[in-house]
Chain A
Amino acid sequence: MGAVMLSVAGLEVTFRRSGDTVRAVRGVSFDVGRGESFGIVGESGSGKSTVLRAICGLAPTSAGTIGLKGATLSAPRQADFYRAVQMVFQDPYASLHPRHTIDSVLSEPLAIHGFDSPEQRIEQALTEVGLGPEFRFRYPHQLSGGQRQRVAVARALILEPEVLLLDEPTSALDASIQAEVLNLLDRLRSERGLTYIMVSHDLAVVAHMCDRLMVMQNGLAVEELTRSALSAHQATTDYTRKLLSASEGYTKADAP
């Protein structure tokens, strides 16, 4: 592992809803090296997405620190944080503004951060994610789910970040489209030397995409293991083993 890109130490996230306190994340720590691809696996309610949201400042941290390239991040995040860290959301049907054309989706971040030659950058971003320039002036409703997710990836990459946070980027897509988007993400990472943190409920997707992964349950980190350990089924906790066997498909044999 090279230099540490992003480090999370003792992260806690607590939500208060009408008197109830929900401890969504309860003391999670991990480091992600530069150029590494790190996965977080868990079921719904495990707090895996909340970790991502806390990193980019969308969820409040009640304890712990998050550091980027050795510097502890402040809340609210500064403008240069958004240049360095971007996110792709789970549902491409919800993450694109229904009244904005692809053109305005892509030109807005450029305008916010004062990038030069926006025309070229937009064309290039579209080409990179495998959409031609003919998509530029379409509205999201004129695109399929996979195309929308490509736009979301283009939007995240147009600010040339170093870290990409991926929140279940393919779980709303068909398996065949999932393969295309995963390949795209894989290619972009090797071309640009990006650092990924990917959250998913699908062990197979994380095993395919990530060098190292962390399993979460009920807001706690249960286990951290490498890809090779996972594919050799060398899980140390019962929960991870249960997840592993469940993701292999249904087995009639172990019916009671």
Chain B
Amino acid sequence: MTPLLTVKDLRITFPTRQGETEVVRGVSFTLGRERLGIVGESGSGKSQTGRAILGLTPPPGRATAEVLNFDGTDLRHASPATWRKLRGARMSMVMQDPKFSLNPVMTIGKQLMEALKFGASESRAQARVRALAMLEAVQIRDPERVFRAYPHELSGGMGQRAMIAMMLVTEPDLLIADEPTSALDVTVQIEVLRILDRLVTDRGMGLIFISHDLRLVSSFCDRVLVMYAGQVVEELAARDLAKAQHPYTRGLMNCLPKIAGGQRPLPTLERDAAWAR
């Protein structure tokens, strides 16, 4: 099976007063139609990696890679026209906070239809049916009401689901979810993950799940990349997480408090400068 996405030696640099700073330093991975988790602390470069795949590295940052291939398309030198064709239709991104990603003066329905217009060509009525079906698919109980609602009329969990619906209505092949659930309550979080899970299993979507929550990632994803200081320090199957070799991964696992009672004081993460090399 050819991978959906191939990333080789991805580097992202930002200019600062002291010169160039490399925030992502040679990240390589391949993604099939599976759930890949990227875990790391803030500043580890995990979010920038996700953005770079969609060509959304914020200026003045620059992203370079040896290979950045999405289903046969070289993304490194993609023209704006190519990006327009890819983004939304074939690859999309769910951000952490729905408040900043939804247009506040447009109804959810209108935004969904807007997203569809750039996808397959079909009639307005067909598009509406598909939009409503999508809202239902993300477990919104009253899709007609949400269709007519403005973002501010929805709760956080609803807004996030509407956002996911919008990103998924075009049935992309690749979804990058950057902390999609950390602004949500735990019970809602599980529901949102269930939706994503079903899309991967039923539609064969590729999912990159970016999070700082190792426990959540390990229970949800198939494979996990652990990032530290802009590099992947360990890659392993999620079920093997307990057998992690790298001290950083082990540290991330151990520092989480447990309901069943754990160590006191909690083990803290000792950082070793050698890991960053």
Residues of A within 8 A of B (CB): 43-44, 145, 174-180, 182-183, 186-187, 201-205, 207-209, 227, 230-231, 242-244, 246-252, 255
Contacts and interface: CB of A to CB of B under 8 A. Distances in A.
B212 interface: yes
A188 B198 CA distance: 46
Contact of A243 (B187, B251, B260): B187
Contacts of A242: 187
B41 interface: yes
A203 to B, nearest CB: 6
A179 B267 contact: yes
Interface in B237-272: 251-252, 255-262, 264-269
Contacts of B269: 176, 179
A204 B186 contact: no
A184 B254 CA distance: 17
A96 B150 CA distance: 34
B190 A207 contact: no
B263 to A, nearest CB: 9
Given A174-B212, A175-B212, A246-B187, 13 more contacts: A175-B213, A175-B256, A177-B41, A179-B267, A202-B186, A203-B186, A204-B257, A208-B262, A209-B257, A243-B187, A244-B259, A247-B186, A248-B259
Closest 3 CB pairs of A and B: A249-B219, A208-B257, A179-B255
Given A179-B266, A179-B268, A182-B257, A250 B187 contact: no
Contacts of A177: 41
A202 B256 CA distance: 11
Given A175-B214, A252-B197, A44 B156 contact: yes
B189 interface: yes
Interface in B167-187: 185-187
A43 B186 contact: yes
A201 B189 CA distance: 12
Contacts of A231: 259-261
27 contacts: A43-B187, A44-B156, A44-B185, A174-B42, A174-B212, A175-B214, A175-B256, A177-B41, A179-B255, A179-B269, A182-B265, A182-B266, A202-B186, A203-B186, A203-B259, A204-B256, A204-B258, A207-B261, A208-B258, A230-B259, A231-B260, A231-B261, A247-B259, A249-B220, A250-B216, A251-B219, A255-B197
Contacts of A186: 264-265
A250 B212 contact: no
Contacts of A187: 265
Interface of B: 41-42, 156, 185-190, 193-194, 197-198, 212-216, 218-220, 251-252, 255-262, 264-269
A207 B216 contact: no
A37 to B, nearest CB: 12
Contacts of B156: 44
Given A179-B267, A208-B262, A242-B187, A250 B257 contact: no
Contact of A176 (B185, B219, B251, B259): B251
A187 B264 CA distance: 10
A125 to B, nearest CB: 20
Contacts of B255: 175-176, 178-179
A59 to B, nearest CB: 21
A182 B268 CA distance: 10
Nearest to B183: A44
A110 B20 CA distance: 43
Contacts of A246: 186-187, 189-190
A217 to B, nearest CB: 10
A179 B251 CA distance: 10
A11 B46 CA distance: 44
Contacts of A249: 215-216, 218-220
B265 A176 contact: no
Contacts of B256: 175, 179, 204
